[in-house]
Amino acid sequence: MSSAQEFRKQTTLRNLEAIYRTYVKSNSAIGRDGNHPARLGGSLNEEVRQIQKNMRNGNYRFTPFRQVLKIKGASQNPRVISIPTARDRITLRALTNTLSSSFNLEEFERPQLKINRISNAIAKNAYEEYIRVDIEDFYPTIDHEKLILELQTRIRKHEILSILSRAVSTPTIANSQPRSQPITSQGVPQGLSISNILAEIFMIPIDKNFMNLPGMSYFRYVDDILILCHTGMADQIEQNLDSEISARGLKAHPRGPGKKSSTGRIVDQFDYLGYVFNGTKISVRGSSIHRMENSIARVFTRYKYATKSSRVGFTMESWIRRSGEICEWYLNLVITGCIHEGRRHGWLQYFSQMDDIKILKKLDRQVRKFVSSYDLSATVVPKKFVSTYWAIQNPNSRRRNIVPNFDEIDRDNKQNILNRIFLIKQERLNEMNEIEVNSLFSRKVGKATSDLEKDIGSVYR
């Protein structure tokens, strides 16, 4: 199917409505217009007709994206996240689907699969040296002119290119700033559904030039490149890679021990995407372990402060008991992660390719100490990191139910979790229809899973 045909398919009224129901309605992020995505449902027919008309004639205009700053660390500038309006989110998803089909990028290779391939290459003793290159300020420095040229290799229709150009040129501004701001000529806003796929498309020329070269293996995840090669090849490969990166208008982080870009011998240990490769052993970077330890501690700290006083509708005794149940639910979610909206979430879900079991045993010991020190042994029954690890490795084993799949639970169980964990009154739940229950459950669990992503953080930065 051509890009024009795919675009036509994605902009049918039925598909635009489906995009709203699947990707937009239950999302709680609010754009610059101040409207919750759920409110769009009241005038959905009219909205999607207008979206279809403006997309197909190439005149669609985006509302400036709302700026949200995401803290990366004490010594780093915050990452700017762009939040579109609900209306723009429908349009962006239709564009994302069009790009996915046009460039055969329906599914990106997950970090875990890359780590598995790297591990296999190292285990075969096929290479002796590594080159790791991290691109500096990747998204903000993507050149629009070069991006459009790359898009034109698969897309000819002017209307599609015009809307994509406007999408990346739309400014991202804080609520306190005036709406009228100059369009941007460089960078791809982060946080949009098209952000990652546009970044992938922009890097296609570099991937093509290095993917199949003899005597080396090339891996890339977003802006982080790893090359395994034979002894004596690293210097020349570095020069060639630097030249290609510069030709795209990008810049690599300075190289050196302990820096984001580095070169060395494989046997001397290196890290990539938060994993640490030490010979044939695959471990996890210390900062990532520390983040998980802090997350465990936060669950118990929240319990401590929650039980300082009773809550309306509970006696003190019943509230302490309920708080223990809530503590157990969140603790087990932190340990196991979960499946929600077709995706795996959580620290151990991300680091499933590690084989350093000692780390997991240490985390299990810390959990037991917390349970004991808070006198919760009779109330909280925590799951185990080690058991979860083996359940992930063997999903068809008897342990497979350790990791909750929120996509498969029925309405009664959803209502039970909403009432017992999120403290939604049963009377209110009884008045809701199934769609309303599903929407509320998705929002509540979505917030909990977004907290799990903070346990991972920018693990490969």
Q: Please give the single-letter amino acid code of residue 399.
A: R
At residue 230, the pLDDT reads 93
Query: What's the whole-model pTM score?
Result: 0.86
pLDDT at 431 (0 to 100)? 94
pLDDT of residue 342: 83
**pLDDT tens figures, 309-325:** 888 889 999 999 999 99
Q: Could you give phi then psi for residue 66, rounded to 5 degrees?
A: -80, 135
Selected residue with higher pLDDT from 450 and 208: 208
With a cut of 80, say whether residue 269 has pLDDT above it. Answer: yes
pLDDT confidence tier of residue 75, bands split at 50, 70 and 90? low
- Give the DSSP letter string of 407-454: TS--HHHHHHHHHHTS---HHHHHTS-HHHHHHHHHHHHHHHHHHHHH
Residue 409 pLDDT greater than 70, yes or no: yes
DSSP string, 41-54: GGGHHHHHHHHHHH
CA gap 142, 245 in Å, rounded: 11
- Taking CA atoms, 358 is separated from 118, 123, 349, 354, 361, in Å, by 22, 21, 17, 11, 5
Residue with tokens 């290159």: 133
**In the predicted model, what is the mean pLDDT of residues 442-457?**
77
DSSP class of residue 299? H
Cα separation values, 241 from 111, 139, 336, 395, Å: 22, 19, 39, 39
Q: Where are the beta strands (DSSP E) in 14-105?
A: 65-70, 79-83
Check pLDDT > 60 for residue 47: yes
Task: Give the model's pLDDT for residue 26.
Answer: 75
pLDDT of 181 reads 67
- End-to-end distance of the chain based on CA atoms, in angstroms? 38
pLDDT grade for 455, boundaries at 50, 70 and 90: low
Backbone angles phi and psi of 63, in degrees to 5: -75, 140
DSSP 339-393: EETTEEESHHHHTTT---HHHHHHHHHHHHHHHHHTT-TTT-----HHHHHHHHH
Question: Does the pLDDT value for residue 460 go beyond 60?
Answer: no
178 exposure class (CB count in 10 Å sphere: 0-12, 13-18, 19+)? exposed
Other residues' Cβ atoms within 10 Å of the Cβ of residue 426? 12
Question: What is the share, in percent, of the chain residues with pLDDT greater than 90?
Answer: 73
Q: Which of 85-89, 102-106, 196-200, 265-269 has the lowest mean pLDDT?
A: 102-106
Lowest-pLDDT choice from 126-140, 160-174, 428-442: 428-442
78 confidence band (pLDDT: 50, 70, 90):
confident
Average pLDDT value over all residues in the chain: 91
